[in-house]
Structures are given as C-alpha cells and as structure tokens.
A and B are shown apart, each in its own frame.
Chain A
Amino acid sequence: MATAHTATHSASAHDHHDDHEHHDNFITKYIFTTDHKMIGKQFLVTGIFWAIIGGLLSIIFRLQLGFPDMELYWLKPILGGWIDDAGKLDPNFYLALVTMHGTIMVFFVLTAGLSGTFSNFLIPLQIGARDMASGFMNMLSYWFFFLSGVIMFISLFIETGPASGGWVVYPPLSALEQAMPGSGLGMTLWLIAMTCFIASSLLGGINYITTVINLRTKGMSFSRLPLTIWAFFLTAVIGLLSFPVLFSAALLLVFDRSFGTSFYLSDIYIGGEALPNTGGSPVLYQHLFWFLGHPEVYIVLLPALGITSEIISVNSRKPIFGYKAMIISMLGITILSFIVWAHHMFVSGMNPFLGSIFMFLTLIIAIPSAVKVFNYLTTLWRGNLIFTPGMLFSIGLVSFFISGGLTGIFLGNSAIDIQLHDTYFVVAHFHLVMGSASFFGLMAGVYHWFPKMFGRMMDARLGYIHFWLTFIGVYMVFFPMHYIGIAGFPRRYYSWTNFEFSNMYTDLNMFVSVAAIITFGAQLIFLFNFFYSMYRGRVASLNPWRSNTLEWTTPLHPKHGNWPGEIPTVYRWPYDYSKPGAAEDFIPQTVPLSATPESNLPHEQELVKLEKAIIADEEEVLVANESKES
C-alpha cells in the first residue's frame, strides 16, 4: 500500500535494539506466552470470537420474538432437533439460547474480553513495568479462560442442550434434572466452565493488583496513575472479593445436584414424586449469587469508564475534569457495589425490611455515578475535540451510561420495582448501562490502542461508519424495550401471545429484531477493519494521538520487556493537555517539570527544586556506577 511507507521512518530508529534478546519460537511467542501484551491480544481475539457467538445466539432468539410465525427450517442444519417439524424453535432451546447469550456476554466478552485485554495490555505499559508481576500466572489465567470457553462451547452441542435457567441459574430449576433438559449435563458443564472462569479471573486479578502496587516506575505515584489504571486496579479488587462467593454458590449447587444435600432445596414435588429434601432455601442462592452478581456489573463497567476517561481527555486536548473526584467516585462505587446486591431481590420473598435497607443503599451508589457523568461533560466543555473512532465510542458510552443509569433509579426504588422487576424494562436498563456501555468501552479501547497493539492504524472512516451504525442501532434495539417493559412484557418469554396484556406491539418487536440484525451486521465492518488493518493498515507513528501516557514512549513494536533501555521515569500526572504557556498541547509524563518552567503552575514550581535534587542525585549514582564498571 502506498500509504504504508509514509510514517515508518519515525519508528524504524528504535527497532534494532534487541539482538541480544532470546528468540522466541512460535509456541512461546504466540501460544504459551508470558508476555502481557500477547496475553492481552489473546484475550481480545478470544473475546471477539465469543462476542460473535453471543451475538448470533441473540439473533436467533430475536427472530423468534420479532417474527413468531417465521419458519426456521434453514436453521435445521445447525440446530437439528431444536427446530421441530413445523419449523418452530423449541421453547426449551429458546431458554438455552437466552442463558448462553447472557453468560457469554457478561463473563466471556465483557469480563474476560474487556478486563483481560486491557488490564493485561495496559497496566505494565502505563505504569512503566517490564511485565506483570507473574507472567506465568498470567499465562495460566488465559488458559483457564480458554478451557472454560472450550467446555462452554461443547455444552452448546450436547443432546439435552446447554444450561437454560437464565444466566443467574437459580435453583431449584438449575438443580433438578427433571425440571428442564438444560439442567442435566448442560448445567454440569456450565458449572465446570464457570469454575475454570473464576480461577482465571482470580489469577488475573491477583496479578493486576500486585503489579499496580509493586511495579510502578520511578515517580509513578498513585496520584499520577492514569484513570485507566485506577479503574483496572479497583476492578481487580472487586473481582477478587466477589468471585469466590460465586464459587461457593456454585459449589453448594453442585452438592445439591449431585450429593443429595439440601442447601437450596426444600419441599419439592416434581415429576410425580416428592423429593426428600427439606430445610434448604432458594433465596440463599440468590443472596450468594447477587453478592457476586451486582459487583460483577461494575467489574464489567469500571474498566470501560477508565478507558473512556483516558480517551476523552486525550481527544478533548484537556485534562480530565476532577481527576481526584473521579478516583473518589470509583472508590465509592467499589465499596458500595458490595452492599446493594439485594436490590435484585425486592420481590423474591425476602423480608421487606431488607428491601427498605437495600433501597437506600442502592440509591447512594447512584451519586458517584452521577458525579462521573458531570465530570465527563465538563471535560468536553471548552475542549478542542478530535473525533477519532475511539472518541466517538467514548461519547457513545457516556450517553448509554446516562440513559441506562437513570432507569436504575426506577428499579432501585423497591415500590416501583414491584411492577418493573423481570420485565423488559430491566432488560433495557442493563443492556444500556452494562451491556452497551461496556461494549462501547471495549470498542473505544480497541480503536485507541490498536496502534500500540499491532503497530498499525485502523481505518478511521470505517470506524466512523461502524460507530454511527452501532450507536443508532443500539438505541433502536434497546430504547423500545422500555415501552414494552412499562407495558409489563415479562423477560425470558418465548412468546407473548398467550396473554391479552402482552398480545400487542408485534410491530415494535419486529422493528427491534430488524434493528438487532442490522446492528449485528454492522459489526462486520469492525471485523474487517480489525483483521485487515492488523496486516495491511497504515503503519502508525509512535504517538498517533499525541498522548501523555507512558505506553506511547515504547518502540512501535515493543519486545517482551517493553522498553529497550531504562524504564522511563515519570515526573507529572498524565493529563497535562493544553497547559497554558506550553508550546505543544500535550506534555508527556516523562518530561520533567524543570524542563517546562514556562507552563508550570505555582505549586509545581515548588516541586521543581525537589525534582532537580533528585535528578542530581541520580546522576551521581550513575556516574559512580559507570566509573565502577570501567
């Protein structure tokens, strides 16, 4: 390509430092790699694979909801017996599709695909470390995830179908094989897969936390960390504290399923038979599940918020507004996310007094979320905005975060939730605030860091088209769901025609399904752009977005170890954009304050003295070392 040569010269100078490095073979470089960058890419590509699967599943059940009379014979080659002789989708398989869609999207795409990709890729690069604290654990983390995926994938094809009780897999439905076919082998495989997934998350999380705490480069204090890193760090903390609880919930479920215990089972008559179990409580499972489940929504969301904070700041050419407030909000969300779980259970039959308590706690967590939105808006205000695809997706995220966050205020109010619980209103809410917002964070991150990942640029104009189709598409899909939710349409329904109150809006559902198919189709643009640019994209310059953070000081294709020489030292926070007095509109973190007297703020002028002393000290040590060596 003609354009490929224009930008190379800036990068080539750095490219031949590594003659002394050991050479990896294919297996250690691409498969069992311990390089955090490659592991990040592995997570990304696997996440994209799962996003396609999860998306396809949703298209199938959207066909059922939008076009209930459609004959689906053409799906018989893949779905076999799940399409009956009249060409109709089996209602059991409908539930299986919904369940797998939810599980895949929440865990495989938006947890592993998002956190896994960007925590791995960015933490060492942005804090100035050679790699993760433990490369080996990091590798294990990916391979546990991979194994989990393989098992989940196999479960899609077994005769009784995959797990089908919804992504929350509430017992007794999920505990009793008699209750539905998916609760047999499919559910067993789900539990095994999730156990591997939890192991993967924990291995990753421990690594992220350790790395951020211990391996920051010189000068990179916590108050100089980019917000991305703060977000990844807090996400890992949440995961580390909540995933083990999911594990215990799953373990007790395994006992109930296979060893005759009664943790969740009591007084059950099913399949013409009274079971011996007494004394268990299905509500106990719900408490345990949501103790992970609610923090999980922030595990999914926080990294996306971190990514957008960075991208919006860079492309507004402005410091993020309220850096400290952003950190405090994220800390607040981290803590509060552990004490709101029972807002998913207002009508589960638990004590109504608990409902009151959790209503108050839930609405408190809306406050830090609101602060974040206002801070994003103020960052855009009086900026000099460049609409890279990453920036577009970030703005889209803020929009979804507002739309979906506001409906949370309805659902968090237990009196209003009576009517809305388990209707499409909830589906609209969490798809906007958690699904779409995080997905846009993932996309923003890919567009923004693609040059660092692959040394090439993704095509911007395809990115714009991808953004607008997706942004409009997502609203077309999820906004109408509010209306049918208010009308009372229940979730996880194969068809709504059995009820008079929901025997309407067939047109709207058809519209939603068409919009979903178009939106899914628009992702092909991204896939093309992603894989094409990986090999044929325009070669990137070293710092294409003119950004301040450390990752852009590495060579175009950083080797294992990231920086050829010394790891750079950090002298300032990452958001010195458009500083008054400075010639350029950005000052990278590696530029000492003493080098920019013209733009220093009064309190920074104070720091200059300190900095000079440190630099002098260092030089002495350096000189001493050199004289020793020679």
Chain B
Amino acid sequence: MYGFLIAVGILLLISIIWMVYRIQTLVSVVKGSDKKVASGSNKVNAMMFVLFLVGSGVLMFWYSIKEFDNYNPPLASEHGAVTDQLFWITMAVTGVIFIITHVLLFWFPYKYQYKEDRKAAFYPDNNKLEVIWTVVPAIVLALLVIGGWKAWSDITKPAPENAHVVELLGYQFAWEVRYPGMDNVLGANDYRLTNASNVSGVDFSDKNAHDDFNSPVVVIPKGEPVLFKIRARDVLHSVFAPHMRLKMDAVPGMPTKFWFVATKTTEEMRAELNDPEFEYEIACTEVCGKGHFSMRRVINVVEPAEYRKWLAEQKPYIVNNPALVENLSPEMKELAEITISEHK
C-alpha cells in the first residue's frame, strides 16, 4: 500500500517537474529573457530571502518561547546550575551574532540585487575592519572560554573525602549499581571473576567487598556529594543523567568517575513539576549495540536521613547469596560469616 502511494507520489512529482520545465523554457524563449544577464527571477529570489528571514525568524522565536519549559530538562545538581548559566550566556552571545549576521546575509541580497545601471563597489580590502573582526571575536571567545574553564576545573577536581560512593557498571544492556556499604569503600574487582551471580566481578577475598551490595535503583542523598565510579565490562557505554547535567563514558579497562551534589529530592521535583510520576533517570549515550536505547536506571534522590536509613537496611551480596564466599580462604570466610550474621 505504502509502496504504491510512494510510487504514485514520485510519478506525480516527476510529471509536475517536467511540465513546469517545459512551460517555463517556452515562456523564456518567447520573452527572450534567456539572454539577459539577470532575468525577472532575480527580483523573486531577492524577495524570497527577505521572506525567509522574516518567516523563519518568527517561527524560531515563537517556538523557542512556547516550548521553553518542554525542552529545558529540570535541573537538580549544583554544578548543573553553573553549566546551565554558561549555556544561556553563550546562547545570548551567539544569538545576537546569529541574528545580526542573518539579517545582513538576507537583507543584502534584497538591497543589492542586480540593476543594469548600477556598478558594484570595488572594495577589495580594509585592514582595519579585518583587525576589528579578528580581535573582537577573540576577546568574546576568550571570555566565554574562561568561564567554561573555571566551571570545568571545579567539576573535574577530585571529589570531597566524604562523598558517597556509588559504582555504575555498564554492560550489554544494563547498569549494575553497586554500593560500598557502611565502610564507603568498594571492594576490589577483577573482570575474570565475572559470572551470572557476580555481575560486577567483585573480588570477595577483599574484606572491603563483604558489605558491598547492589540496588535496582540509584539512591542518593540530597545536598551531599556523591561520587559515581564508572566502569564497563564489555564495550564502551556512557552514563548520562540529564537532570544532573552529568555525563561520563564507561570504558572497559579504565575506570572513570564523576562527582556531583544533587539539589532536589525526587519528591521535591515531583511537587515542583506537578508530576507525581517524575523520576530522575540514567541513560546510555555511547553506542553499545542492539539495546543501547534501553539502558535505563532510575535515580532516587532522598533526604540524607532517609538515605542513611535506607543504607542500613540493604543486604550485602554475600548475605543474599552466601555461595559467593564459599571458595574463600578460611580466615576470609570467617570474616564474611561475621558480616552475614550481622545482617541477619
């Protein structure tokens, strides 16, 4: 059905082109306009530029204003406020340049369209102008860059000592979320230990791993620094939390990180947006195969007190699955048993 429609459409288009073409060649031959330097179409084209300028300008402003709240993802991190501000400053600066240059670009064709009795100005150069429009953009860009550089240095500096650690491991096609437990230190890992019951390849012969646990949801406290430790175990992935203005690739063999401070709990954001369904989300932004578009995790931002309560309730890997420690050395096993009994 579609095929037929498309075929008809194409046929129609071709025949229209053909007819327009035949008619207008004949007309131009009759009028003798095919020998002129600039035909009557010159005026039409010049007009079109102005029409385009006005039409698309109106469309752009209308849509940008009308949709403003829709295309701006709600913001929920401290550094995000800075990068958003940089974004909008850059938008203002480039917006002005965009408009000025386009007004000139589309108005000149109208103003200076061909007239037989006019001669173009012979104006091959002007060093002063060239210097001005090299130096001015240089200064403007330098200012923008300095702002960006400061923000970037702050964002990428080492995380505060007290940051809550969460490990995100990307694999085809999901994220494994691992918490370090009460000691806030993740246990060691080795990719060779990976199997169906040990997704992150945790090395349980490291004592720090004993209280590590996983969670289907990334739970983090509001107002306190959180450090994402990011790994991948098969191909590249990338952690993207749009509301946190956070993105960092997950690279096999090279752990990466990103720290931030969330500013609003999920509940607060729900109230603010008047949307009881709202969730903070994590997506993957580095192509990783068939399921790339479905690597979703939810971030649940809660009050610090609630976070601590939640943390205390979680059961470590080894509690949920004691088989994980079966092959450990006797001393290690003993330590593990203690942890397990603590959590009973």
> Which chain A residues have a beta carbon within 8 Å of chain B's beta carbons?
1-3, 6, 74, 91-92, 95, 165-166, 170, 172-173, 176, 179-180, 265-270, 274, 278-283, 316-325, 347-349, 352, 355-356, 359-360, 363-364, 366-367, 370-371, 373-375, 377-378, 380-387, 392, 395, 398-399, 402-403, 406-407, 409-410, 413-416, 418-419, 421-423, 459-462, 464-465, 468, 471-472, 475, 479, 483-484, 486-488, 490-496, 498-502, 504-505, 521, 524-525, 528, 532, 538, 546, 575, 577-580, 585
Residues of B within 8 A of A281 (CB): 251, 253-254
Contact assessment for B233 and A269 in the assembled complex, using a CB-CB cutoff below 8 Å: yes
Interchain CA distance A398-B105 in the complex, whole Å: 8
Q: Are A274 and B192 also in contact (CB < 8 A) when A406-B98, A460-B41, A493-B293 are?
A: yes
Given the contacts A268-B191, A386-B114, A423 and B138 also touching, CB distance less than 8 Å: no
Q: Which of B288-320 contact A (CB under 8 A)?
A: 288-294, 296
Do B90 and A487 have beta carbons less than 8 Å apart?
no
B281 near A: Cβ within 8 Å?
A: yes
Give min CB distance, A267 to chain B, whole Å.
4
Checking A95, A349, A495 against B249 with a beta-carbon cut-off of 8 angstroms, the contacting residue is A349
Interface presence of B151 (CB below 8 A): yes
Residue of B at shortest CB range from A467? B45
A336 to chain B, nearest CB (A): 13
Contact B234 A413 (CB under 8 A): no
Q: Are B71 and A486 neighbours in the complex by a CB distance under 8 Å?
A: yes
Asked whether A499 and B296 contact (CB < 8 A) given A270-B235, A349-B256, A380-B105, the answer is yes
**A1 and B28 alpha carbons, distance in the complex (Å):** 13
**Which residues of A are found within 8 Å of B133, using beta-carbon distances?**
370-371, 374
Chain B residues within an 8 Å CB radius of A74: 1-3
Q: Is the CB of B292 within 8 A of A269?
A: no
Alpha-carbon separation in the docked complex, A378 to B285 (Å)? 42
Starting from the known contacts A274-B192, A387-B114, A407-B94, 12 additional A-B residue pairs (CB-CB under 8 Å) come to A282-B253, A283-B251, A318-B123, A323-B125, A377-B104, A384-B118, A409-B141, A414-B148, A415-B83, A479-B60, A487-B70, A487-B72
At the interface, yes or no: B323 with Cβ under 8 Å from chain A?
no
Instruction: Name which residue of chain B comes closest to A472, CB basis.
Output: B52
Neighbour of A321 across the interface among B14, B24, B125, B142, CB < 8 A: B125
Kindly list the 8 A-B residue pairs having the minimum CB-CB distance in the complex, ordered from nearest: A266-B253, A352-B156, A488-B242, A413-B148, A415-B151, A349-B256, A387-B45, A382-B121
Interchain CA distance A325-B128 in the complex, whole Å = 12
Residues on B with beta carbons closer than 8 Å to the beta carbon of A462 = 17, 20-21
CA distance A532 to B20 in the complex (A): 14
* Inter-chain contact A267/B191, CB cutoff 8 Å: yes
In the assembled complex, the CB of A360 is this many whole angstroms from the nearest CB of chain B, namely 6
Does A483 lie within 8 Å of B71, measured CB to CB?
yes
Q: How far is the CA of A356 from the CA of B18 in the complex (A)?
A: 56
Q: Which of B29-37, B180-188, B202-210, B214-222 binds A?
A: B29-37
**B residues within 8 A CB of A274?**
191-192, 194
Question: In the complex, which residues of chain B have a beta carbon less than 8 angstroms from the beta carbon of A367?
Answer: 134, 137-138, 141
Q: Decide if B343 is an interface residue (CB 8 Å cutoff).
A: no
Pair B125/A488 contact, Cβ less than 8 Å: no
Q: How far is the CA of A490 from the CA of B133 in the complex (A)?
A: 36
- Tell me whether A385 and B113 are in contact in the complex, defined as CB-CB below 8 angstroms, given that A367-B138, A501-B73 are known contacts: yes
B119 touches A421 (CB 8 A): no
B residues near A (Cβ < 8 Å) are 1-3, 9-10, 13-14, 17-18, 20-21, 24-25, 28-29, 34-35, 37-39, 41-42, 44-46, 48-49, 52, 56, 60, 63-64, 67, 70-73, 80, 82-83, 86-87, 90-91, 94, 97-98, 101-102, 104-106, 108-109, 112-115, 118-126, 129-130, 133-134, 137-138, 141-142, 144-145, 147-149, 151-153, 155-156, 171-172, 191-192, 194, 201, 233-236, 238, 240, 242-243, 245-249, 251-254, 256, 277-279, 281, 283-294, 296
Inter-subunit contact B45/A392 (CB<8 Å): yes
- Across the interface, do B242 and A356 meet the contact criterion of CB distance under 8 Å? no
Name the B residues within 8 Å of A377 (CB-CB). Answer: 101, 104-105, 108
CA distance A280 to B253 in the complex (A): 8
Look across to chain B and name the residue whose beta carbon is closest to the beta carbon of A63. B2
In the complex, the answer to whether A415 meets B13 with C-beta atoms within 8 Å is no
Q: Given A413-B90, A499-B283, does the pair A325, B130 have CB atoms closer than 8 Å?
A: yes
Distance in angstroms from A145 CB to nearest chain B CB is 27
Q: Quick one: which of A319, A322, A359 contacts B149, CB cutoff 8 A?
A: A359
Q: Determine the distance from Cα of A173 to Cα of B170 in the docked complex, in whole angstroms.
A: 13
> What residues on B are CB-neighbors of A321 within 8 Å?
123-126
Chain B residue at minimum C-beta to C-beta distance from A325:
B130
Within the complex, which residue of A279, A413, A585 is in contact with B86, where a contact is CB–CB below 8 Å?
A413
Q: How far, in angstroms, from A179 to B232 measured CA to CA in the complex? A: 13
Q: Chain A's nearest CB lies how many Å from the CB of B77?
A: 11
Chain B residues, Cβ within 8 Å of A488: 73, 240, 242
- Please give, as numbers and ranges, the residues of chain B lying within 8 Å of A398 by CB-CB distance: 105
Establish whether residues B14 and A173, one from each chain, have CB atoms under 8 Å apart when the complex forms.
no
A187 to B17, alpha carbons, bound, how many Å?
41
The CA-CA distance from A382 to B119 in the complex, in Å, is 9
Q: Are B83 and A318 in contact (CB under 8 A)?
A: no
B254 touches A266 (CB 8 A): yes
Chain B neighbourhood of A349, CB < 8 A = 248-249, 251, 254, 256
Name the residue among B1, B83, B233 with the largest chain A CB count within 10 angstroms: B83
Q: Which of B101, B119, B134, B235 contacts A578 (CB 8 A)?
A: B119
- A333–B91 alpha-carbon span in the complex (Å): 24
- Give the CA-CA distance A377 to B39 in the complex, in Å: 24
In the complex, chain A residues whose CB is within 8 Å of the CB of B83:
415-416, 418-419
Q: Residue A504 contacts which of B24, B70, B289 (CB distance < 8 angstroms)?
A: B70
Q: Is the CB of B129 within 8 A of A575?
A: no
Of the residues A366, A371, A493, A525, contact of B292 by C-beta under 8 Å: A493
C-alpha gap A318/B2 in the complex (Å): 51
Contacts of B20 in A (CB 8 A): 461-462, 465
Find chain B residues with CB under 8 A from A521 CB.
9-10, 13
Closest Cβ of chain A to B287, distance in Å, is 4
In the bound complex, CA of A163 to CA of B155 (Å)? 36
Residues of B within 8 A of A484 (CB): 71
When distances are taken between beta carbons in the complex, the residues of chain A under 8 Å from B130 are: 322, 325, 371, 375
Contact (Cβ within 8 A) A410 B90: yes
Residues on B with beta carbons closer than 8 Å to the beta carbon of A322: 124-126, 129-130
Residues in chain A near residue B46, CB distance under 8 A: 385, 387
Return the contact of B102 from the options A166, A283, A402, A493 (Cβ within 8 A): A402
Residues on B with beta carbons closer than 8 Å to the beta carbon of A370:
133-134, 137
> How many whole Å from B150's CB to the nearest CB in chain A?
8
Q: Are B235 and A380 touching (Cβ within 8 A)?
A: no
- Which residues does chain B contribute within 8 Å of A575, judged by CB atoms? 124
Q: Using A282-B253, A381-B112, A493-B293 as known contacts, say yes or no to A578 and B240 having CB atoms under 8 A apart.
A: no
Q: Which residues of A contact B67 (CB under 8 A)?
A: 483
Q: Which residue of A lies closest to B284 (CB)?
A: A490
Q: Within 8 Å CB of B1, what residues of A? A: 74
Contact (A381, B108) CB under 8 Å given A318-B122, A371-B133, A578-B121: yes
CB A587 to nearest CB in B, in angstroms, measures 11
* Complex contact B249–A348 (CB within 8 A): yes
Whole-angstrom CA separation of A624 from B122 in the bound complex: 42
Q: Is the CB of B281 within 8 A of A499?
A: yes
Residues A492 and B287 in contact, CB atoms below 8 Å apart = yes
Which residues in A have their C-beta under 8 angstroms from that of B134? 367, 370-371
- Evaluate contact between A323 and B90: CB separation under 8 angstroms: no
Please state if B148 and A180 are interface contacts (CB–CB under 8 Å): no
A418→B243 contact, CB < 8 A: no
Q: CB distance A282 to B252 under 8 Å? A: yes
- Smallest CB separation, A95 vs chain B (Å): 7
List 29 A–B pairs whose Cβ atoms lie within 8 Å, in order of A's numbering. Answer: A95-B290, A173-B288, A265-B252, A281-B254, A282-B236, A318-B123, A319-B124, A322-B130, A380-B104, A380-B105, A382-B112, A384-B114, A384-B115, A395-B49, A402-B98, A403-B98, A414-B148, A415-B83, A415-B149, A416-B87, A465-B20, A472-B56, A501-B73, A501-B242, A505-B70, A521-B13, A524-B17, A528-B17, A528-B21
